[in-house]
Structure 1
Amino acid sequence: MPPKLPYLKETPSQTAGPYVHIGLAPGAAGFDIYDHELGHDIAGPNARGERIRVEGLVIDGTGSPVRDVLLEVWQANADGIYAHPEQPGKTEGGFRGWGRVITDFDTGEWGFDTVKPGPTPGRNGAVQAPHINLWIVARGINLGLNTRLYFSDEAEANATDPVLTLIEWERRRATLIAQRSERDGKALYRFDIRIQGEEETVFFDI
């Protein structure tokens, strides 16, 4: 018979920790560590399309803003093309389509400047509405949360998006729609992310 194995205790649960943004986005946290910090510039100066600003809060189950969040941003350019090493020259020079932002330590607000993405190809020939992919990590979150930001002024495209239409309840779909306004003549989209509660944002298991 095989030897009896000793009882193994469960290892402690680990979360991202309260200072995850310092390690992953030190420049945004005020630490000048790298000559070229990864993901600092999302669109680059040569990107075509409409320049936009995206802002929001990450809100916990009590309705309070979470102030130590890091968000990773991934998007296509205005032509609906993602920057990819296997597709050199398909996007504008300097367009990364990826970046990292952190929340303000005092207010919990986060934000970034970019260009509005175009529709992207989906599975089986479907077309996805313009959107931005977001990944959220923070203290108390064991696994990063994946979600999407869609645009309120793309109602026609949103109505046929293959991902949005999988969400049966309109009220739940609404948690993925950023609301457009203007500030100083520039397009501004508001997108608050709710971790828990009645209006919890839709997150994806990917």
Structure 2
Amino acid sequence: MTETPGPTPSQTVGPFLSLGLTWPDGADVAGEDTPDALRIGGIVVDGAGEPVFDAVVETWQADPDGHFDHPDSAAGSAFRGFGRCPTDGDGHWEIRTLKPGPVDGQAPHIDVSVFARGLLDRVVTRIYFPDEAAANATDPVLATVPAERRATLVAVDTGRGDLRFDIRLQGEDETVFFAV
């Protein structure tokens, strides 16, 4: 009887992503006492609508002035522009950050990568802000997205001073992902 070899690590993904990719303050893009800090978070779900409990959400963004050069980005600074947050057992993720400024004619946004089991490559999306309707309407990247799908890229104001941004990897209302 010939034995069929099992998958090798190069053929599978996870649930290894949280090992070595996260750090204790990874979700703190802005320090705890930073004025005007806000929380953005949500849930990552798969194509069946089930929470993805072992994903990593990574964010990059400009500062409130629209700059990416963060001279104070050393540990313990007020703002570093980069975050990395693992999802919890219910698929939730959250970062504390500052609202970015516009960059090169683009509306304020946060770039997001998601790493998860079953994904051989990261998926890349953006978070746009609900209070930036005029800027969002002229954003050149958002303009490439069909109008009926743009809402998947705009965070929702929870009314409690924070924003919700759910990430749907497949299925109905799938988040728009960009080929980069």
1:46, CA displacement in angstroms? 7.8
Identity rate, percent: 50
Aligned mates of 2:82, 2:13 — CA distance in 1 = 20
The secondary structure found in structure 2 opposite 1:132 is strand
- Whether 2:86 is the aligned partner of 1:102: answer yes
1:181, CA displacement in angstroms? 2.4
- Whether 2:112 is the aligned partner of 1:138: answer no
Query: Is the strand fraction higher in 1 or 2?
Result: 1
RMSD: 2.2
Number of aligned residues: 170
1:83-102 mapped onto 2 (5 Å cutoff): 83=69, 88=71, 94-102=78-86
1:110, CA displacement in angstroms? 0.8
Between structure 1 and structure 2, the one with the greater Rg is 1
The secondary structure found in structure 2 opposite 1:156 is helix
TM-score normalised to structure 2 length = 0.85
Per-residue CA deviations over 1:150-204 (Å, capped at 9, x if unaligned) read 011111100000100011x222111101011232xxx211111111112111111
Unmatched 5+ stretches in structure 1: 1-10, 28-36, 122-126
TM-score normalised to structure 1 length = 0.75
- Whether 2:159 is the aligned partner of 1:182: answer yes
- 1:15 and 1:115, CA in 2 relative to 1: closer, same or farther beyond 3 A? farther
**Aligned match of 1:124:** none
1:144-183 mapped onto 2 (5 Å cutoff): 144-167=122-145, 169-183=146-160
Aligned mates of 1:77, 1:16 — CA distance in 2 = 33
Aligned mates of 1:194, 1:53 — CA distance in 2 = 19
Moved over 4 A (4+): 45-48
AA paired with 1:57?
A: I
Contact 2:66 2:100 in 1 (8 A): yes
Contact 2:27 2:95 in 1 (8 A): no
1:43 to 30, 41, 60: 30
- Whether 2:170 is the aligned partner of 1:196: answer yes
1:128, CA displacement in angstroms? 0.6
**Aligned match of 2:66:** 80
AA paired with 2:80?
A: R
AA paired with 2:103?
A: T
Unmatched 5+ stretches in structure 2: 1-6
